[in-house]
Structure 1
Amino acid sequence: MNNSGLAVEVSKDRNGTDQILLRNPRGASAKVSLHGGQVLSWRTDRGEELLFTSSKAIFKPPYAVRGGIPICFPQFGQRGSLEQHGFARNRTWIIDENPPPLHANDACGKAYIDLLLKPSEDDLKIWPHSFEFRLRVNLTADGNLSLISRIRNINCKPFSFSIAYHTYFSISDISEVRVEGLETLDYLDNLYQRERFTEQGDALTFESEVDRVYLGSRDAIAIFDHERKRTFFIKKEGLPDVGVWNPWEKKSKAMVDFGDEEYKQMLCVNGAAVEKPITLKPGWRGLANGIVFPNRRLTYRLAWKMVF
């Protein structure tokens, strides 16, 4: 599971689901649950939590956990007969004991875990496409976090999907936060039936509910938390869009797994592929050691720093 020499511990939560704790020598950590293949915690070497999880979150399958980094696959949003944000975040993943080789830079000096999701018979009834979703969660020596996905088509025909790494960042107060890197971009506004607008501001700030998907973004986005003097950096590859969400007061009170005032301490900003779904074609090529199917690799990296 781990060739970095850093700490990887497996335990069970109160419902008996395996959780993996990654820890680097400086004391930074990340906790990953097999429920949803979801990162639930990301802490600095001082023990400060960087991800938000609701005090009312439900940790029992088949519910998705309200917080951390849910993986929204094979869709982001609500379309057709699939449940909102797809089924990957509600399924039990397994530890991948034989992961495909990744680039050396993805493993060197890092504590990591490899997870695997395959569709069940029930999944194939609602989304009839065979796939393998391999996820590597890395915690670097510097305490940064990355999620590297490989999605393989083992169908006999092409299929398309959308995806988002729906990250709940922990913040001091929503009124003290701004997001940079989205200026001049078009976005789909879910509060207006996905109508298309253009961002006019130099930075995105928050005074009411926001539910948008910014299109064709640059591969680096920054979230500035002025009160905590903390900056989050998002870097992504293969994920052209950025989702931004805060439910604000009215919607917070309507969610059973979210505290009435918790919207003030969280902000979702996530790498995504939404407007133009990713299409994986079938096919293979023969090698001496077997058959290799085409796949798609997506990389999502999170970093932070204090600004004085």
Structure 2
Amino acid sequence: MGHSAAVCDHRASFELTKDWNGIEQVELRNPQGASTRVSLYGGQVLSWRNERGEELLFTSSKSIFKSPKAMRGGISICFPQFGNCGSPDQNGFARNKIWTIENNPPPLHPNDSVGKSFVDLLLKPAEEDLKCWPHSFELRLRVALASDGNLILISRVRNINGKPFSFSFSYHTHFSVSDISEVRVEGLETLDYLDNLCQKERFTEQGDAITFESEVDRVYLSSPQCVAVLDHEKKRTYVIRKEGLPDIVVWNPWEKKSKAMADFGDEEYKQMVCVAGAAIENKITLKPREEWTGRIELAAVPSSFCTDFLDPHLNFF
């Protein structure tokens, strides 16, 4: 099938395998030994490891990875809606569909290819999708691994319809942490947020950082391009840089909610935090033949270096 055409760095490996359900997965590996694995089921990133082989994404040990259920963990693609409680799938159908590998996608900016190994995936609506969301679209996803081990996800939604449509989007990213009580999220100070635990009521963040002592389920609005998740015990900082995604979702289910979820361990809330680039409050509207691009770049760095990554003048893209 010529899948290797999707890789630009000949020193990086690109391996196509199948999971226990027979669904194809792509593993990318850079010369330094960092890796990422993405499933064609949902276009979901299942693993992201640094050059020492340490897993940086959380996946529940009780996760159910079988249609029609999206796996609990990794990075899932939430489209065309997110958190719509009146919907059978409140986070959209894209994460429950089989995507295809696209060998010759429409070109991205040259910087999105240089020095990176990557795979391009494509999702188009099936007839059943058009019944619940009657819009013709093409959703492209590039998953790329840079030479420095950073993970880059670039999504493009194109309207191939005869009429405009609107959608929400989120890269629902579950980070692996040592202990949630040792975690703080920086970069969201003074922002307004919608609290999903209070009927989406709007509040203003009062703390100098977000820390966790109970369940948190919020959408921070008009957030900066760069947000940091500090894990004090591991002395590791996750840096999230984003474009086209004005909002940030912050979620941890805490103890009571964890026990109520069949696909989540009772104590696993201690080892994860979800901090996700998203477009939720103001939906994205595309006219016919218009295209939207949203991207994130994730870095995992020693905490002592994180101030460099938070420099707003640095351009990752």
For residues 90 and 123 of structure 1, do their structure 2 counterparts lie closer, same or farther at Cα, with a shift above 3 Å needed? same
Please give the alpha-carbon distance, in whole angstroms, between the structure 2 residues aligned to 1:9 and 1:35: 16
Query: Which residue number in structure 2 is paired with residue 45 of structure 1?
Result: 51
* The one of 257, 266, 272 aligned to 1:251: 257
3-state SS of paired residue (2:140) = strand
Please give the alpha-carbon distance, in whole angstroms, between the structure 1 residues aligned to 2:86 and 2:124: 21
Please give the alpha-carbon distance, in whole angstroms, between the structure 1 residues aligned to 2:236 and 2:132: 42
8 Å CA contact 1:189, 1:211 repeated in 2: yes
* The one of 300, 305, 310 aligned to 1:304: 300
8 Å CA contact 2:35, 2:145 repeated in 1: yes
Query: Which residue number in structure 2 is paired with residue 239 of structure 1?
Result: 245
User: Structure 2: which 5+ runs fail to align?
Assistant: 1-5, 305-317
Query: Which residue number in structure 2 is paired with residue 180 of structure 1?
Result: 186
1:187-266 aligned at under 5 Å gives the runs 187-266=193-272
3-state SS of paired residue (1:164) = strand
8 Å CA contact 1:152, 1:294 repeated in 2: yes
Please give the alpha-carbon distance, in whole angstroms, between the structure 2 residues aligned to 1:275 and 1:242: 10
Please give the alpha-carbon distance, in whole angstroms, between the structure 2 residues aligned to 1:55 and 1:299: 28
2:23 is aligned with 1:4: no
Please give the alpha-carbon distance, in whole angstroms, between the structure 1 residues aligned to 2:275 and 2:293: 20
Please give the alpha-carbon distance, in whole angstroms, between the structure 2 residues aligned to 1:202 and 1:93: 41
8 Å CA contact 1:82, 1:127 repeated in 2: no
Query: Which residue number in structure 1 is paired with residue 315 of structure 2?
Result: none
Partner deviation per Cα, 1:167-223 (whole Å, 9 max, x = no partner): 000000000000000000000000000000000000000000000000000010000
Please give the alpha-carbon distance, in whole angstroms, between the structure 1 residues aligned to 2:287 and 2:65: 35
Shift of 1:50: 0.2
Query: Which residue number in structure 2 is paired with residue 87 of structure 1?
Result: 93
State the 4+ residue runs in structure 1 displaced beyond 6 angstroms. Answer: none
Shift of 1:82: 5.0
1:1-308 aligned at under 5 Å gives the runs 1-5=6-10, 6-282=12-288, 293-307=289-303
Shift of 1:3: 2.0
Structure 1 range deviating more: 262-271 or 73-82: 73-82
3-state SS of paired residue (2:211) = coil
Shift of 1:16: 0.2
Aligned-partner residue type, residue 168 of structure 1: H
Please give the alpha-carbon distance, in whole angstroms, between the structure 2 residues aligned to 1:43 and 1:259: 22
Query: Which residue number in structure 2 is paired with residue 286 of structure 1?
Result: none
Please give the alpha-carbon distance, in whole angstroms, between the structure 1 residues aligned to 2:9 and 2:135: 35
Aligned-partner residue type, residue 53 of structure 1: T
Shift of 1:79: 4.2
Query: Which residue number in structure 2 is paired with residue 288 of structure 1?
Result: none
User: Structure 1: which 5+ runs fail to align?
Assistant: 283-292
Please give the alpha-carbon distance, in whole angstroms, between the structure 1 residues aligned to 2:216 and 2:260: 16
8 Å CA contact 1:82, 1:126 repeated in 2: no
8 Å CA contact 2:230, 2:303 repeated in 1: no
8 Å CA contact 1:81, 1:126 repeated in 2: no
Q: Tell me the TM-score normalised to structure 1 length.
A: 0.95
Shift of 1:226: 0.2
For residues 249 and 79 of structure 1, do their structure 2 counterparts lie closer, same or farther at Cα, with a shift above 3 Å needed? closer
Partner deviation per Cα, 1:10-37 (whole Å, 9 max, x = no partner): 0000000000000000000000000100
Please give the alpha-carbon distance, in whole angstroms, between the structure 2 residues aligned to 1:18 and 1:59: 13
Structure 1 range deviating more: 96-105 or 252-261: 96-105
Aligned-partner residue type, residue 234 of structure 2: R
Please give the alpha-carbon distance, in whole angstroms, between the structure 1 residues aligned to 2:261 and 2:86: 22
Over aligned residue pairs, what C-alpha RMSD do you find?
0.8
Fraction of identical pairs, as percent: 69
Shift of 1:60: 1.1
Aligned-partner residue type, residue 199 of structure 2: Q
3-state SS of paired residue (1:70) = strand
Query: Which residue number in structure 1 is paired with residue 309 of structure 2?
Result: none
Please give the alpha-carbon distance, in whole angstroms, between the structure 1 residues aligned to 2:296 and 2:303: 23
Q: Tell me the TM-score normalised to structure 2 length.
A: 0.93
Aligned-partner residue type, residue 211 of structure 2: T
3-state SS of paired residue (1:197) = strand
8 Å CA contact 1:173, 1:264 repeated in 2: yes
Partner deviation per Cα, 1:68-103 (whole Å, 9 max, x = no partner): 001110011024445210001111111012211111
